[in-house]
Structure 1
């Protein structure tokens, strides 16, 4: 006769608590970044006599807002497991990661590729006044202010944007079971940072390309390289407005 009392009892494995941040924290970081950019560029800078269109103020705005976010993230990632949850990990440097980066870069460069085939510049994709913006950009890329703008745009901006939109936002959504939707949401919210008419489609494609990288590799690093390469190429291509 089977002795049920003597049978071993099976206990379900303990469910590991999620270490991903709350959506409230993610929203707070995104809003803090947007507010910092706006206040520095349109209130603090002009109050100090700086032209909002100048390379110096644009570079300072990007760097100062990034420093604020880096400080907040440094405090937050002291929590155990948080860095991995927001994709602050090294990817597996293998063929899959390499192919993912190629795919991400191809998606990110779709708008510029289409413009190149038409023989147009990025500033000719919107209204005619955008050409004046392009010429102003070219004239600002000289001296120390121009170098600062290049560093801020090509390196600093991608670092903070990938950290926020692919690390915190996409990583948190993926932790909640989202996959393709996480890429779409992070890409569309990323567009709100680049609301100039000439940049809407380009920023959407960039968000999709880097989102694919983050989803497939579970790291923001491959997408960061794609973002840096895209911004560098975009800055060069924008100077063709001259």
Structure 2
């Protein structure tokens, strides 16, 4: 639904419902949002760089401190630094969006309605039951010629990189901090809190905006393997629909956290039990 701007009699159409976090932006903030398109490359790239930098710093500190003989495993230190990298990204993003007048809309999680957890669970079930098989199909088709994939594809049983971190000795609390709390918050704020509304504000149809933001969301997971990247794309579609349905981030964040918690604590054990 479009609304008329109440500032200076402007007749510009604004494609956000009255209950959407972006509905009440003033003209300056709307213009800044519309013209922030270059950020679709810069911010995902910065997310990558900060995550790699966090891992590099954790490795250097671990090596130089001789912590191999200490009580804290390398995987735990690694997860803590990755969580800090996400926190730094969100701090920088908050400053940037705030200076442009739409930070509060991007970061709006509240109020959390009673329906949000139910909607989040429904979206997650759809992503698992529909996106899961489709991602396996995409993987199997790509593996007909593995040279066409980024790194020869991935084992279809590797639905997450959790096992790698566990082998590095990561504590459950550190894994949860990085993957169940920090990553969902940062990624939802970036992709559904800002990127999707920004694309819609530029006049792109809502369905296409959801698909574009989901595509970028999938691409930032490309190093986790083709199947994970494909599933993340389908998950991104479900999360984008949630964001558009509710007008804010609470339900997508809850769904994303549930998804990562499932990947961390549930799916590996279910697969092991089935195998």
- Please tell me the TM-score bracket, short chain as reference: 0.7 to 0.9
Q: Does 1:36 align with 2:64?
A: no
Say whether the 8 Å CA contact 2:124–2:259 is kept in structure 1.
yes
Deviation at 1:239, TM superposition (A): 3.8
In the TM superposition, what is the alpha-carbon distance from 1:200 to its structure 2 partner? 2.0
Aligned to 1:146: 172
* Alpha-carbon displacement from aligned partner over 1:163-184 (angstroms, at most 9, x marks no partner): 1111121121121122111111
Residue 10 of structure 2 corresponds to residue 14 of structure 1: yes
1:189 alignment partner in structure 2: 216
Deviation at 1:26, TM superposition (A): 4.4
**Number of residue pairs matched?**
216
**161, 165, 185: which one pairs with 2:187?**
161
1:129-159 CA deviation, whole Å, 9 max, x = no partner?
959x6655555677xx331112211111100
Q: 1: distance between equivalents of 2:157 and 2:129? A: 23
2:61 paired residue among 45, 48, 51: 48
CA contact (8 A) 1:63 1:156 kept: yes
Residues 102-141 of structure 1: matches in 2 within 5 Å?
102-110=121-129, 114=133, 126-127=154-155, 130=158, 135-138=163-166
8 Å contact 1:86–1:167 — kept in the other structure? yes
The alpha-carbon distance between structure 1 residues 54 and 174, as it changes in their structure 2 partners (threshold 3 A), is: farther
8 Å contact from structure 1 (residues 154, 231) kept in 2: yes
8 Å CA contact 1:87, 1:171 repeated in 2: no
Rounded Cα–Cα distance in structure 1 between residues aligned with 2:77 and 2:271: 22
Instruction: Report 1:171-182 matches (<5 A).
Output: 171-178=197-204, 179-182=206-209
Cα 1:127–1:149, aligned 2, differ >3 Å: closer, same or farther? same
Is 1:201 aligned with 2:230? yes
* RMSD of Structure 2 on Structure 1 (CA): 3.4
How far does the alpha carbon of each residue in 1:185-239 deviate from its partner, in whole angstroms, 9 at most, with x for none? Answer: 1111111222222412321122111111112222111100010111111112124
TM-score (norm 1): 0.73
Gaps of 5+ in 1: 1-11, 116-124
Runs of 4+ off more than 4 Å: 97-100, 111-115, 128-131, 133-142
Q: Which residue of 1 aligns with 2:15?
A: none
Cα 1:208–1:166 shift into 2, 3 Å = same
Q: How far apart are the structure 2 equivalents of 1:88 and 1:128?
A: 36
Deviates more, 1:26-35 or 1:221-230: 26-35
Higher relative contact order (CA 8 A, sep 6+): 1
Query: 1:216: which partner in 2?
Result: 245
Distance 1:162 1:187, change over 3 A: same
- Larger displacement relative to structure 2 (228-237 or 24-33): 24-33
Deviates more, 1:14-23 or 1:181-190: 14-23
1:160 shift after superposition: 0.4
Instruction: State the Cα distance separating 1:80 from its structure 2 match.
Output: 7.0
Structure 1 contact 108–230 (Cα < 8 Å) conserved: no
With the length of structure 2 as denominator, give the TM-score of the two structures.
0.65
Q: Distance in 2 between matches of 1:240 and 1:100?
A: 24
Name the stretch that deviates more: 53-62 or 199-208: 53-62
- How far apart in 2 are the matches of 1:215 and 1:92? 15
**Structure whose alpha-carbon radius of gyration is higher:** 1
The 5 Å alignment of 1:66-85 reads: 66-79=86-99, 81-85=101-105
